[in-house]
Amino acid sequence: MGFEDLTEFETRLFEWIRQSDFEEVAWKASRAAKAFKVSEGEINEALAALTSKIPHNIYVHYEDGAIRISAAN
């Protein structure tokens, strides 16, 4: 799988993550849901899809009590 397999929403979410600093600023699905005007469930599903479809381009980990995410092309 690769970028060509992403939905339009997944692509937009990936670009938002890539352009943001969720290494320093903790990830919050509620903040993403508000920004994209969708439910937290839709955000979580899209994030899970990104880690499945483009696993070498997105890194999700837990640090200091919060989820951290980085993304690169």
pLDDT for 30-56, tens place per residue? 999 999 999 999 999 999 999 999 999
Number of neighbouring beta carbons within 10 Å of residue 26: 15
* 14, pLDDT greater than 90: yes
Residue 1: per-residue pLDDT:
83
Residue 63 pLDDT class (50, 70, 90 cuts): very high
12 phi, psi to nearest 5 deg = -60, -40
Residue 73 reports pLDDT greater than 90: no
> Could you give all domains of the chain from N- to C-terminal order, each with its CATH number?
3-63 (1.10.10)
